[in-house]
Amino acid sequence: MKKVVIVGGGIAGLTVAKTLLEGKMQAEITVVNNAPHYFAGPSRPLLLTGEQSLDRIVRGYEEVARRGVKVVVGTVYSVDPANRRVRLVGGYVSDGGVMELQYDYLVVAPGVVLDGSQITGYDKYRGNVLNVYDPGRARLLRDKVWSAERGTVVVYAPKVPYRCAPAPTETALLIDAVLRHRGVRDKFKIIHIDANDKTQPPVIADVVGEIYKKQGIEVVTGQEITEIGENYVVTRSGERYQYDILAMLEPNRAPKFVAEAGLGGQWVEVRSPQDLRHPKFDDVLAAGDAAGLQFPKNQEIAFESALFAANKILEMEGLPHRASVQYAFLGWAYVGNPEGRLQTLSVMFGLDFTTQPPKPSKDPQPKREYTERKDSWEQSYLKNLFGH
């Protein structure tokens, strides 16, 4: 029986596993995930307002295993594509220690790592770097935003591509809403520093600019943070900004084992968006945020790339099943609440990559309904992939 090893039990990894099962591939499918649970990303920013709780967006792998997928808890730290081997160190619900897995097909889908190593002072002051991306740091950010009396909040977005384009903007606007709710907004300055020439995604940069103006949020674009101090950051052009609360996303990249295995640099190299095989290895495919695609890194694109990856494996196996898939997405960005009610509004936006140039769409009118739609969409992904 063929062996498929999937690194990463997130949106992309589980989509590949599910599609291979649907395609009736007779294989031992092993998903390796570095934790015994998964936290969904999209609604994490709502932890700030208390509208989301971690228990609603966490899932374990018990139902996945029941479907016939082997789930191993461990961190992959090396891949040997010439000998088709993956090495991992076991986590706390396995026997621990180092383990080696042999594969016929490898799917690399570990998402991103947040890498501040190129920023001066990062190692010393990394404890000051909070954001909505990591559940622990999101909790601390929430505590600070709910207890601080006055000061400056700096929100930062690194250069694209990074995971979830609107999340830094969402962070700024949700912090604004909480401070308004607490009646202390006038005691705070909120500055959004963006390394890109527009806030992301560009399709709603004008809408966000208008909302920022109304809410009194300053925005500086084209400024990359290169240094962090105890209470300030410095950008490449030498501008210095004081902060009391720093909600900063580090630059994103694939985990180091990717580069060490010769599978890519910042991202895993692929042949094309439709053929996610590595250019040198027919049996190594990438999917999700870790794949080197020219698209935004979000859940829909992760899902679609995973369907393309699974389709390619089914094709190589001579099996007839193909999941129907195209690159396009619709998303919702939280824009806070102008009156400080803890009922977040959202705008809708999308990009369709089936046309050239890609066709953008948006509804610039903030609506509560869009926040609710995003919640149902996220929950349905979790149900579909994790079985509950």
Ligand X SMILES: Cc1cc2nc3c(=O)[nH]c(=O)nc-3n(C[C@H](O)[C@H](O)[C@H](O)COP(=O)(O)OP(=O)(O)OC[C@H]3O[C@@H](n4cnc5c(N)ncnc54)[C@H](O)[C@@H]3O)c2cc1C
Distance (Å, whole) CA 100 – CA 65: 20
Query: Residue 302, interface with ligand X (CB under 6 A)?
Result: yes
Residue with tokens 């990559």: 353
What part of residues 177-236 is at the interface with ligand X (CB under 6 A)? none
Nearer to ligand X, 234 or 335 (CB): 335
Query: Residue 161, interface with ligand X (CB under 6 A)?
Result: no
Residue with tokens 């570990």: 110
Q: Considering only residues 84, 137, 163, 362, which one is a binding residue for ligand X as defined by CB under 6 A?
A: 163
Identify the three-state secondary structure at position 18: helix
What part of residues 240-269 is at the interface with ligand X (CB under 6 A)? 255
Query: Residue 35, interface with ligand X (CB under 6 A)?
Result: yes
Q: Considering only residues 18, 44, 70, 278, which one is a binding residue for ligand X as defined by CB under 6 A?
A: 44
Q: Considering only residues 252, 299, 311, 346, which one is a binding residue for ligand X as defined by CB under 6 A?
A: 299
Distance (Å, whole) CA 22 – CA 81: 27
- Structure tokens given for 41: 């990303």
Query: Residue 382, interface with ligand X (CB under 6 A)?
Result: no
- Checking DSSP bridges between strand 85-90 and strand 359-367, what pairing results, if any? unpaired
Using N-to-C axis directions, what is the helix angle for 135-147 and 167-181, rounded to 10°? 30
Nearer to ligand X, 23 or 331 (CB): 331
Site string for ligand X, 312-351 (x = CB under 6 A): -------------------x--------------------
Q: Considering only residues 5, 109, 130, 177, which one is a binding residue for ligand X as defined by CB under 6 A?
A: 109
Partners of 28 in beta bridges:
3
Distance (Å, whole) CA 18 – CA 306: 10
Q: How many residues bind ligand X (CB under 6 A)?
A: 36
Q: Considering only residues 70, 84, 253, 297, which one is a binding residue for ligand X as defined by CB under 6 A?
A: 297
Burial of 104 (C-beta count, 10 Å sphere; 0-12/13-18/19+): middle
Query: Residue 23, interface with ligand X (CB under 6 A)?
Result: no
> Minimum Å distance from CB 259 to ligand X?
13
Burial of 312 (C-beta count, 10 Å sphere; 0-12/13-18/19+): buried
The residue whose Cβ lies closest to ligand X is 10
Q: Are 292 and 270 in contact (CB under 8 A)?
A: yes
Nearer to ligand X, 45 or 336 (CB): 45
Distance (Å, whole) CA 289 – CA 287: 7
Measured in residues, the chain has a length of 388
- Contact segment (CB under 6 A) with ligand X among 50-58, 103-111, 267-275, 319-327 equals 103-111
Rama region for 50: left / alpha / beta (φ>0; ψ in -120 to 50; rest): left
Site residues for ligand X per CB under 6 A: 7-13, 32-35, 38, 41-42, 44-45, 75-76, 109-111, 132-133, 163-164, 167, 255, 288-290, 297-300, 302, 331
